[in-house]
Structure formats: structure tokens, C-alpha cells
Structure 1
Amino acid sequence: MANMRGNLLPMMDLHGFLYGDNLEFDPRRQRLLVMNHQGVYAGLLVESVLGMKHYWREERLDDVPEVDARLQPYLAGACRRGDEHLAVFSPWKLVDDEQFMNISA
């Protein structure tokens, strides 16, 4: 738990949820992504953030590149630019997952 601007923010290790083992603590690289979706206010601890890219609508695709099966339910299509074909992770799909919402069970 964290206090963010007076609100209690539950924090979850995304790697731990997906793969069952928590990340090693490296504060120089790890980031907390804060989301607020349908009344769910939470932080996702991620291993690192490499940057932000912007894509045109024409670069959006429905076909997702091959990725780990544990990520599949949380993907919202992909983007392609040149040889780059990247899956798009959706934190909103994660929040809609009953397993994620009952993570303490």
C-alpha cells in the first residue's frame, strides 16, 4: 500500500501475478504504473519502462505477435511500423480479470 495524494493505493507486482514469482527489488529500474479504471485505483509494479511510442491508427493491427501465453488475455492488438511488430498490453483488461481483482485469494 502507498499513500498517493491522500488516497490509499494498493500496489501489485505484475510479474508476480503473471508468473508466480516476484521481481527482485531494483529501485533504479522498477516503476509503478498507476491506473484508475472503473473505480479501481491501483499501482502495477513493473520491471522497467523503456519509453513511450506513438503510433498512427493505420499502424494498429488485430494480429498479435507471438508472446508468452500468460500475457495473451491482457493484450489489445498490436502495432506495426517497418520491421517492428509490438503487442499492446491493456491494463484495463487486467482490471477486468476476476483473478486479478481477487489476487489475495
Structure 2
Amino acid sequence: MPELSQSPFDLLVQIERKCRVAAPGLPAQEEERKQWNGVFFRLRGFDLVVPLEQIVEIVDMPAIATMPGVKPWVIGLANMRGSLLPICDLGRFVFEDDVAAQGRLLVVRLAGFPVGLRVDAVYGMRHFWVDQQAESLPDLPVLLQRYVTSAYHDQDKVWSVFDVHALLSNEAFRDAAA
């Protein structure tokens, strides 16, 4: 029973002390791990990931109308839901080769307009923890290195990150006229 001579403030201090002794501690605060998400695709035998935020959509190869007077890596135009979509063969542009294949399209935006990049295959999403970022880039052909800006390691594999912005800012890519 509290003494009558104690002030209300003293009573509150006494109650607080009892509560601190009886209360369990706060749970340990865990550090939140940030995740990096990308789309896993294959280009000329190389496994690459592209940041998810750089992709508008992934589609199968549509019917394509060829265009005269363009560089060989420009495949043509497709009608995607009523809009014209220029389609470029990413492997042919990067590696300057003549390998033709079906593949799938990674749709990206160039100056606000969609552009389809044909790649050999798209396998789906890859998730990495930000702390899995590799300190060095894997050995890649010089023609591909200019578009790989970082990498992530997962188990015994290093995943090269293909930067669409590096591709789209390349003047050679922007100059599609033959």
C-alpha cells in the first residue's frame, strides 16, 4: 500500500521501476537485407541478368515486317497492341555476328518509346541480396563488357548484369540507318 506522504510523481516513478524490472526486453532488431531483382536471359551462350526496372515487358517473337535501309541488327517492326515496336537483334548488335535465331523479346524504353531486344532465351526472375554484389566483373568478350556494369555471385556462379541504359546511350545503337 503506498504511503500517503508520497507525491503522485513519486508513485509514478515507483510504478515505472517495477514495470522495467518485470518487462521482457525488446526483441533484437535485425538488419533488413535489401534485395536486387533482375530478369535472367541468355545471349550467345552467356547467362546475363538485366535489372527488373529496366524491362517494360517480356514477349514471344511477334510477326515482323522488315524495313529497308536499316542496319543488319534491326530486324524490323511489329504491331504490339496497335503500336509499332521496332525490334533489334541484341546478339547481332553486340557481337557483330550473323547468327539468326528465334528467341524472345525484352521490351525496353528508348526516349519514352518501346523497343524490342531479341535475346536467345528468357528464363525468368533472379533475386540476389545486395550484399551478394561481386567486387569484380567476370571475364567476358570485350564487345559484351561495355554493357556489363556489375555482377552478383550466388553459390559458385557469377551473374553479369547487363545495363540497358548503357546500350541505349550508345550512339551506334541509336544510329540504325544503313
Letter in 2 for 1:21: D
* Matching residue of 1:73: 146
* Matching residue of 1:19: 95
> Shift in Å at residue 6 of structure 1?
2.1
Give the 5 Å matches for 1:34-73.
Answer: 34-73=107-146
For residues 75 and 40 of structure 1, what CA distance do their matches in structure 2 show?
23
Aligned pairs, how many?
Answer: 102
For residues 23 and 48 of structure 1, what CA distance do their matches in structure 2 show?
14
Counterpart secondary structure, 2:126: coil
Larger radius of gyration: 2
Structure 2's unaligned 5+ residue stretches are 1-76
> Shift in Å at residue 94 of structure 1?
0.5
Q: Is the 8 A contact 2:95 2:144 kept in 1?
A: no
Q: Normalising by structure 2, what TM-score? A: 0.53
Counterpart secondary structure, 1:34: strand
Counterpart secondary structure, 2:166: helix
For residues 167 and 149 of structure 2, what CA distance do their matches in structure 1 show?
11
Letter in 1 for 2:131: E
* Matching residue of 2:47: none
Letter in 2 for 1:73: R
For residues 100 and 128 of structure 2, what CA distance do their matches in structure 1 show?
32
> Shift in Å at residue 31 of structure 1?
0.3
* Matching residue of 1:7: 83
Sequence identity percentage: 36
Counterpart secondary structure, 1:3: strand
Q: Is the 8 A contact 1:40 1:95 kept in 2?
A: no
Letter in 2 for 1:92: H
Name which structure has the greater RCO, CA cutoff 8 Å, separation 6+.
Answer: 2
Aligned CA-pair RMSD: 1.7
Letter in 2 for 1:8: L
